[in-house]
Amino acid sequence: MYWRLIIFAALGGFLFGYETSVINGALFQMKDYFDLSEHSWTYGLIVSIAIVGAFVGSFASSFISARWGRRSCIALADVFFTLGSLLMAFANHVSLILVGRLIVGFGIGLSSATIPVYLAEITPAASRGAAIVFNNVSITGAQFIASVVTALFVIYTEPNLGWRLALGLGAVPSLIQLVALLVFLPETPRWYLAYGRVEEANRVASAFNIDIGECTEGEKLVTDFTALLTKTMRKRLFLGCMLHVLQQTSGINTLMYYSTVIMSDAGFKDKNMPLLMFIPLAGVNTLFSVFGVFTVDKWGRRSLLIISSYGCLAVTIAMTVIGFYLHEDAMADSGKWAFFSMMCLYLMFFAPGLGAMPWVVLGEVFPTKLRTSAASVATMCNWGSNALVSLVFPSILGAIGVGGTFAILCGCIAIAVAFIQIFMVETKGLSLEEIEKIFDAAANSGTSQPPSCHGANEPCNEPEANVPRSEVDTELPSGEKKCDAHRA
């Protein structure tokens, strides 16, 4: 039952990945139908308008998820996925494509902000990281499937049919997940507790072996964003938001959205070759996302991020050097294959660390009553930076070429390396309530960052000696007390 829940919940990640990736191949054929240039503003807008919708959707998710539940928010996202996919499939003007992408983007925003929270609250601490990373595997797996589907449809169907079928297929998994939500996916126990529904919370917690021992019965979920600026929240919000910004500015979605353009500019001039080259790229991304599932709860979040960021930096330096010499006669053939190999190597390092860990952190480091609001803000940072990068990338690539563009990405990844070394801490093996206490204690003691904790069975260097117990375990303003609703 546990894995059935994880798989169907992660269909939201599948939709996220499919809808963000399918446009890469669909545009390859669609540009001829709508007479678009690969380096035009409209071409970039078709990609980025979905990200604008995701930005708005991630903001709205805070209110919807807190008031009506995580499950209801995911179900609403499925409705938007279905409507947007069908609208694009039957579009006869580029304006309808833009509207459809905006609607789908709103669904992506709702889903991407809510599913990591849902998975974090519905899984036990020992496997929480793997569950959230599995959602990332669904994202990358969907990108691989989208690359295969679009290649087959675009190459082997009529020019005006392939891209329609590829875009319309997004409605299928959304309908499957919607049925699963209505039939057997439960609400999270922490949401039940927030509304005083203790019996239902205990039932779900018992069924899935979830530790909600240090819960707060009746503590309403807060959607007041000013509460995120309090002393105990600022550092964890900064950590969550910056990881998502750095994930996007590392350049991952320039590969996911524009790999066909990059491959063409790198020297692959055969009409269908850039489209086919995206398939192994997406496959590598998926394979090494699976690697993250098996290592996140063993190696830890911080270790994976450090390995990932250093690896990506080394690879993008090589890509920059190769990029500057791609059009030299001596490099004409070998250069493009070397660059493609570096793209694959980049994804090997990116997927298990920078690709997955920001979503794990999003589900873990925020307290229950503010989790949806904080996750909403962090996801907005993700989609805001995603929109900026995806909108300007075609123009920058056309203006300064492959080498210059990847030189900029090198600088962004160097910033990510420094940030992770300074600010990222370990949370593997800890319950959500234990993580909350650690951040609160660090804030009250005035330390620069929370302690590094390596698991439930290892000692945490928690600075509670400097913090009165009354400051760590306080009575809530509304008078509610901590309670033992269920302890696994």
pLDDT in tens, 244-300: 999 999 988 888 777 877 887 777 777 778 778 888 999 999 999 999 989 998 999
Distance CA 449, CA 177 (A): 39
Output the pLDDT for position 377.
Answer: 92
Span 461-468, average pLDDT = 41
Q: Tell whether the model's pLDDT for residue 89 goes beyond 50.
A: yes
Q: Are residues 414 and 459 in the same domain?
A: no
Q: Are residues 406 and 448 in the same domain?
A: no
Q: Tell whether the model's pLDDT for residue 228 goes beyond 50.
A: yes
**Sign of the alpha-carbon dihedral angle for 343, 345, 346, 348:** positive
Q: Of 219-228, 309-318, 429-438, where does the model show the most confidence?
A: 309-318
The domain total for the chain is 2
Span 196-210, average pLDDT = 86
pLDDT band at 150 (very low <50, low <70, confident <90, very high): confident
Beta strands in 305-385 (DSSP E): none
Per-residue pLDDT of 103-116, as tens digits, reads 999 999 999 999 98
Residue 212 lies in a domain: no
Q: Are residues 449 and 359 in the same domain?
A: no
Residues 250-267 as b/e (b if ≥16 CB within 10 A, e otherwise) read bbbbbbbbbbbbbbbbbb
Output the pLDDT for position 447.
Answer: 57
Q: Tell whether the model's pLDDT for residue 226 goes beyond 60.
A: yes
Q: Tell whether the model's pLDDT for residue 55 goes beyond 50.
A: yes
Residue 191 lies in a domain: no
Output the pLDDT for position 482.
Answer: 44
Residue where a domain stops, chosen among 388, 423, 458: 423
Distance CA 387, CA 292 (A): 26
- Per the structure block, which two tokens stand in for 290? 């699976």
Residue where a domain stops, chosen among 423, 444, 461: 423
Q: Are residues 109 and 32 in the same domain?
A: yes
pLDDT band at 457 (very low <50, low <70, confident <90, very high): very low
pLDDT band at 446 (very low <50, low <70, confident <90, very high): low
Distance CA 369, CA 25 (A): 41
230 three-state secondary structure: coil
Q: Are residues 349 and 451 in the same domain?
A: no
Where residue 400 sits, what CATH number does that domain have?
Answer: 1.20.1250.20
Within 10 angstroms of residue 412's Cβ, the number of other Cβ atoms is 19
Per-residue pLDDT of 297-311, as tens digits, reads 899 999 999 999 999
Per-residue pLDDT of 409-429, as tens digits, reads 999 999 999 999 999 988 888
Q: Are residues 315 and 290 in the same domain?
A: yes
Q: Are residues 334 and 462 in the same domain?
A: no
Structural domain span for residue 368: 2-185+222-423
Range name among 145-154, 200-209, 449-458, 472-481 with the lowest pLDDT average: 472-481
Residue 199 lies in a domain: no
Q: Are residues 252 and 399 in the same domain?
A: yes
State percent of the chain over pLDDT 90. Answer: 37
271 class by beta-carbon count within 10 Å (0-12 exposed, 13-18 middle, 19+ buried): exposed
State percent of the chain over pLDDT 70. Answer: 86
Distance CA 335, CA 332 (A): 6
Question: Please, are residues 216 and 476 in contact by the beta-carbon 8 Å criterion?
Answer: yes
Q: Tell whether the model's pLDDT for residue 467 goes beyond 60.
A: no
Per-residue pLDDT of 342-352, as tens digits, reads 999 999 999 99
Residue 366 lies in a domain: yes
Residue 233 lies in a domain: yes
Mean pLDDT across the chain, nearest whole number? 83
- Cα 168–Cα 394–Cα 289 angle in degrees, nearest 5: 60
Output the pLDDT for position 473.
Answer: 40
Output the pLDDT for position 249.
Answer: 94
Residue 296 lies in a domain: yes
Output the pLDDT for position 350.
Answer: 96
- Cα 377–Cα 380–Cα 386 angle in degrees, nearest 5: 150
Q: Tell whether the model's pLDDT for residue 155 goes beyond 50.
A: yes
Span 428-442, average pLDDT = 83
